[in-house]
Amino acid sequence: MDTRPIGVFDSGVGGLSVLREVTRLLPGEDIVYFGDVGRVPYGNRSREVIYRYSSEDLRFLRDKGVKFIVAACGTASSVIDAALIRQLPVPYTGVIEPTARAAAAATKNKKVGIIGTAATIKSGSFVRALAAIDPAIETRGQGCPLLVPLVENGYIDFENKVTRLVLEEYLRRFDGFEMDTLILGCTHYPLLKPIIQDLLGPGIALIDSGAATAAYVRELLAKQGLLSGRESGGTARYYISEHTETFAETAKIFLGHGIEAEYAVAELPLEETPV
Ligand code: DGL
């Protein structure tokens, strides 16, 4: 039994889609969430910068005395490597392995599409994770840089013409690929699931990182004797690296309710990269 909180971080608000699933599955666990809203988006930055930001995010959570860390961000998870993980005093997971596991279990024809930020697709993280599970799985990926701003600006209603047009453009990449499974490799995309399903048709399984990662976290906590032992009453504390006008509003889109967040910039080095 361990009543310390679980640490969850994201480049901004997207990780709240993972937090929501963790809370649903583990309602007795306390959570500390960090959203690096001052430096979002990570998805179109270089690997080096994403690596540095991610290592600072990990350190921030580590210093909060958490028992387990979740990188609830497709982009950060794609660059965090064994060297960074080794430095952590507590167990860690990103979203790549759990999501790849769920996709490998879902595909019947072994053709899996992947959408994510430009950095996630460029990193090849999902391709490697799928190949490690089943080398026979064929993949095709598409970076979708316009989707994060669309979600953050609330362009998520089912009939939204702009979002549909942008998605149609991106999904054209999968014409002729005949996949039966698509990984939604960015924590913002679960909010677009109904539109994506409508565009692709019901025959394609959409795998998002939230549910898969939450199940993985529960499995690891149980295995390592780290569950709190409580069935309900878990709390969540939120930290953000900049007070933006939109944080609370956008958080509501992800969680369905508003939240109060503490300003964490003093604890996180936010120096800009020299150009
Ligand atoms: N949270 C990021 C992800 O899941 C998307 C936002 C960003 O580009 O930072 O990849």
> What digits encode the pLDDT tens for the residues 97-138?
999 999 999 999 999 999 999 999 999 999 999 999 999 999
Is 11 close to ligand 1, i.e. is its CB under 6 Å away?
Answer: yes
The phi and psi torsions of 244 (rounded to 5 degrees) equal -100, 150
Give per-residue pLDDT as tens, 42-87: 999 999 999 999 999 999 999 999 999 999 999 999 999 999 999 9
Q: Does ligand 1 come within 6 angstroms of the Cβ of 74?
A: yes
* For residue 41, cis peptide bond before it (omega within 30 degrees of 0): yes
Residue nearest (by alpha carbon) to ligand 1 atom 1: 73
* pLDDT for res 199: 98
Q: Which pLDDT score, from 0 to 100, does residue 259 have? A: 83
209-223 and 16-25 are packed helices; what angle lies between their axes, rounded to 10 degrees?
50
Atom of ligand 1 nearest to the CA of 186: 4
Spell out a b/e string for 180-219, using b for 16 or more CB atoms within 10 Å of the CB, else e. ebbbbbbbbbbbbeebbeeebeeebbbbbbbbbbbbbbee
pTM: 0.94
- Distance (Å, rounded) from C-alpha 96 to C-alpha 74? 7
Q: Is 133 exposed, middle or buried (0-12, 13-18, 19+ CB in 10 A)?
A: middle
Q: Is the pLDDT of residue 274 over 50?
A: no
| Distance between CA atoms of residues 111 and 138, nearest Å | 5
Q: Is the shortest distance between the CB of 185 and ligand 1 below 6 Å?
A: no
189 CA → ligand 1 middle, Å: 10
Q: Whose CA is nearest to atom 2 of ligand 1?
A: 73
Element (H, E) at 263: strand 261-263
pLDDT class of 273 with cuts at 50, 70, 90:
very low
Which contiguous run of DSSP H or E holds residue 93?
A: strand 92-93
Tell me if 236 sits within 8 A of 19, measured CB to CB.
yes
- State pLDDT tens for residues 244-271: 777 788 888 888 888 877 777 656 665 5
144 is a catalytic site residue: no
Q: Measuring CA to CA, which residue among 62, 26, 12, 64 is closest to residue 235?
A: 26
Contacts of 40 (CB under 8 A, 6+ apart): 11, 12, 13
**Ligand 1 touching residue 14 (CB < 6 A):** yes
The predicted structure's pLDDT at residue 265 = 65
By percentage, how much of the chain surpasses pLDDT 90? 85
**Average pLDDT score over residue span 211-234:** 96
pLDDT above 50: residue 174: yes
* pLDDT higher than 90, residue 173: yes
pLDDT at residue 153 tops 60: yes
Residue recorded with tokens 């998002």: 208
Structure-token match 């950095």, residue found = 119
- Mean pLDDT over 145-163 rounds to 95
